Amino acid sequence: MASNKHIKQTPEERAEFLRARRRGFSGPLMFVVVIVAVIFVMSVFLRVSDVQVEGNVHYTDEEIIRAFEIEEGDNLFFFDRIAAAARAYSKLPYIKEVAIERRLPNKVLITVEESTALAYLELGDEEWTMDDTCKILGKAAEGELSQLVPIVGIDPGTLLIGETLTTSDANSATVKYLSDVLWQLEKRGLAPETNQVDFTDPDSPSFSYGGRFTVVLGRNNALEHKFGMFVSVLEQLKPGDVGTIDVSDGTTAHFRPD
């Protein structure tokens, strides 16, 4: 039956039937050819020849490029950005955030945000710096300590550069509380006048401010409000006032003069 149907086709119908068959074969074949051509162009022509770095302060451009292991001639599209960022985080502890952007035809732009040393604590006869997330940045450089907030009352465990602080008793709640306090000090611009943060009593830490006040924080709750109350009280005190500002109950600030 099928053969009889073809025999009865007109020449025009037969020609159209053959053209349709050719189109059916040429479509997938053309798709494969295009894909192969694109891969060839990407692998041969789109090679890295320009790497630029923005946002870096602590590290040089060359240090960052080496950490990312980007080399001239690397393929622009096959370059593994996730793996490169992971290498940078492990090698450069001051790197906080990073973005890698590919720009045709041959450029890679690396934008970094660096951590800033905010505080330090002592381990033996060494001082170790950290940022406001309690990430350990390294041993303090000469002359650096005068610009940082000393942390006392915490017995650190093994300190690893680029990793979050741990305590000798693995108390993550204490580290979290310290991080929250440091973040508030940094966010509100209070760190330069903070003389010390004391976690001797982890349930009610305190900090010394301006060489005049001891601020008692109590438990780690309503910290945003507690710091807001402290700032409000600070604005109302006189230049010669010295004493304790207690915001531990989270609702009312109490000033006790010395």
Residue 76 tokens, joined: 């622009």
Q: Please say whether the beta carbons of 137 and 129 come within 8 A.
A: yes
CB 106 within 8 A of CB 48: yes
pLDDT in tens, 167-180: 999 999 999 999 99
Report d(CA 143, CA 102) in Å as an integer: 40
Place of tokens 């074969």: 25
Report the distance separating Cα 34 and Cα 143, nearest Å. Answer: 61
- Among candidate residues 67, 77, 73, the one with its CA nearest the CA of residue 48: 73
Q: Compute CA distances 237 → 185, 228, 254, 256, whole Å.
A: 19, 15, 12, 11
Question: What's the rounded Cα separation, in Å, for the pair 219 and 176?
Answer: 12
What pLDDT score was predicted for residue 105?
Answer: 78
Per-residue pLDDT of the chain (258 residues; tens, 9 = 90+): 444 444 556 766 666 655 665 555 555 666 666 666 555 555 555 677 788 999 999 899 999 989 988 877 777 777 788 888 888 888 999 999 999 888 877 888 999 999 999 999 999 899 999 999 999 999 998 899 999 999 999 999 899 999 999 999 999 999 999 999 999 999 999 999 999 999 999 999 999 999 999 999 999 999 999 999 999 999 999 999 999 999 999 999 999 999
With helix as H, strand as E and coil as C, how does the chain read? CHHHHHHCCCHHHHHHHHHHHHHHHHHHHHHHHHHHHHHHHHHHCCECCEEEEECCCCCCHHHHHHHHCCCCCCECCCCCHHHHHHHHHHHCCCEEEEEEEEECCCEEEEEEEECCCCEEEEECCEEEEECCCCEEEEECCCCCHHHCEEEECCCECCCCCCCECCECCCCHHHHHHHHHHHHHHHHCCCHHHEEEEECCCCCCCEEEECCCEEEECCCCCCHHHHHHHHHHHHHHCCCCCCEEEECCCCCCCEEEEC
For 43, 45, 64, 75, 109, the CA distances from 40, given in Å and listed in that order, are 5, 8, 30, 11, 24
What are the C-alpha distances in Å from 213 to residues 14, 42, 44, 230, 243?
Answer: 98, 64, 66, 10, 5
Closest by alpha carbon to 84, among 98, 73, 72?
98
- pTM confidence score: 0.76
